[in-house]
């Protein structure tokens, strides 16, 4: 039986695709009687506020008809941002060479948090260089992962004001 999150992904992915966006990821969070459905979208040139609004309106309309979430919920649609979360094996493969912050579901070597460079992604596993040591993690063993933002390609502030 598919989880609520998987069912929502199956319902939402075609909506985002029809609007020219990729469903990057989805978080279905419940805390007591409060529910949040957080949707991250991406596009070939990033996403704009207008893209987020269009996707939000369309998803809201489908959610009203399909009613997959009982009771009230908050819908949030945004870009994954610079510290983008990684949800699928394909995401890890796409960011080989980048620094990742990750948290494991179960501790390994006495710790759950690791920060290192993704060296390789294959067979649903990710090889990460952490503090001079290599670790191989199954994607399913990772609870949460985010790309470390890079600022080395940004324009220095003083160059922005030059004539």
Residue 4 has a pLDDT of: 80
Residue 158 has pLDDT above 80, yes or no: no
User: What tens digit of pLDDT does each residue of 47-104 get?
Assistant: 999 999 999 999 999 988 888 887 788 999 999 998 999 999 999 999 999 999 999 9
CATH superfamily of domain region 89-147: Ribosome maturation factor RimP, C-terminal domain (2.30.30.180)
Residue 63 has a pLDDT of: 87
Which of 91, 139, 146, 93 is CA-nearest to residue 120? 93
Provide mean pLDDT across the span 116-125. 96
Residue 154 has pLDDT above 70, yes or no: no
Residue 144 has pLDDT above 90, yes or no: yes
Residue 163 has a pLDDT of: 47
User: Quick one: tokens of 59?
Assistant: 């998803």
Give the span between the Cα atoms of 96 and 163, in whole angstroms.
38
Residue 64 has a pLDDT of: 86
In CATH, the number for domain 4-78 is 3.30.300.70
Which of 60, 73, 122, 58 is CA-nearest to residue 93? 122
Residue 139 has pLDDT above 60, yes or no: yes
**In DSSP terms, which residues pair with 104 in a beta bridge?**
142
Sheet holding 142-147, edge to edge: 133-138, 125-130, 111-122, 99-108, 142-147
- Domain ranges for the chain: 4-78, 89-147
User: What tens digit of pLDDT does each residue of 29-48 get?
Assistant: 888 888 899 999 999 888 99
């Amino acid at each position: 039986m598919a989880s609520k999150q998987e069912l929502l992904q199956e319902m939402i992915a075609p909506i985002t695709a029809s609007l020219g966006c990729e469903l990057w990821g989805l978080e279905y969070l419940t805390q007591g009687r409060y529910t949040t459905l957080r949707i991250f979208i991406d596009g070939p040139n990033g996403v704009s506020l207008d893209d987020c609004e269009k996707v939000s309106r369309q998803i809201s309309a489908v959610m009203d008809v399909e009613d997959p979430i009982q009771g009230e919920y908050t819908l949030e649609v945004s870009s994954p941002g610079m510290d983008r979360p990684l949800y699928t094996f394909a995401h890890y493969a796409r960011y080989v060479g980048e620094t990742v912050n990750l948290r494991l579901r179960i501790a390994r070597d006495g710790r759950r948090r690791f920060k290192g460079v993704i060296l390789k992604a294959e067979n649903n596993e990710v090889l990460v260089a952490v503090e001079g040591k290599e670790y191989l993690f199954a994607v399913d063993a990772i609870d949460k992962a985010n790309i470390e933002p890079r600022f080395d390609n940004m324009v220095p502030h003083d160059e922005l004001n030059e004539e």
